[in-house]
A and B are shown apart, each in its own frame.
Chain A
Amino acid sequence: DSGVTQTPKHLITATGQRVTLRCSPRSGDLSVYWYQQSLDQGLQFLIQYYNGEERAKGNILERFSAQQFPDLHSELNLSSLELGDSALYFCASSPRFTGELFFGEGSRLTVL
């Protein structure tokens, strides 16, 4: 158990819909990262937050947005969903200055 909690574990929805994925980082970790892993592919970095502020941005689509709240949990919002958005979405948190990532179990999104 990494200590990072992601909900929901599985989500099935239709094209055009909007979903929210939630992540609670490990206790004490201020950084939260979001990654997308499409079937049998590597991890694509989406976005990072540090203590509520956006810190780094990757290849995140304009239809996607994220935020980190004062209690440090984070949400990834995916809107106008397309079939190609079907993927495993990981959240990870990191202790300060180590760079080490602790991953949640992921949220598997299926868009039909």
Chain B
Amino acid sequence: AQTVTQSQPEMSVQEAETVTLSCTYDTSENNYYLFWYKQPPSRQMILVIRQEAYKQQNATENRFSVNFQKAAKSFSLKISDSQLGDTAMYFCAFMGTNAGKSTFGDGTTLTVKP
């Protein structure tokens, strides 16, 4: 069974600064997908970024980028130039390439301070 661990329950960052959220996972699969989802106070789940395990290049989406270390089973999210609207809970998620059962971490609550 896959597990996803987010070791930082809460983090805070000053507006315009950079913050990194950690995620580690455990799996015996070789091919899989990893995701970061954002859940703002509205509770809507929003995809932030996606990484395919067979791709060595780290995914980037504007101010969001990941550091994917497959051997270490680590998948951290870096948010650059943090904005107040980035305040949310962030979930790391794993899905096998059969796209079946998915596993979410417990989340990291990020607060961006003005």
Judge whether B101 and A58 touch: CB under 8 Å: yes
- A-side interface residues, number (CB < 8 Å): 27
Judge whether A92 and B100 touch: CB under 8 Å: no
Task: Say if the beta carbon of A105 comes within 8 Å of chain B.
Answer: yes
Q: Report the Cα distance A92→B37, complex, angstroms.
A: 13
- B-side interface residues, number (CB < 8 Å): 24
What does DSSP make chain B's interface, helix, strand, loop or mixed? strand
Encode A77-103 as 1/0 by CB contact (under 8 A) with B.
000000000001010101011111111
Q: Please, which residue of chain A has its CB at the minimum distance from the CB of B42? A: A105
Task: Say if the beta carbon of B91 comes within 8 Å of chain A.
Answer: yes
Residues B46-97 near A (CB distance < 8 A): 46-47, 50, 91, 93, 95, 97
- Hey, which bits of chain B sit against chain A, CB under 8 A? 32-33, 35, 37, 43-47, 50, 91, 93, 95, 97-107
- Hey, which bits of chain A sit against chain B, CB under 8 A? 31, 33, 35, 41-45, 48, 55-58, 88, 90, 92, 94, 96-103, 105-106
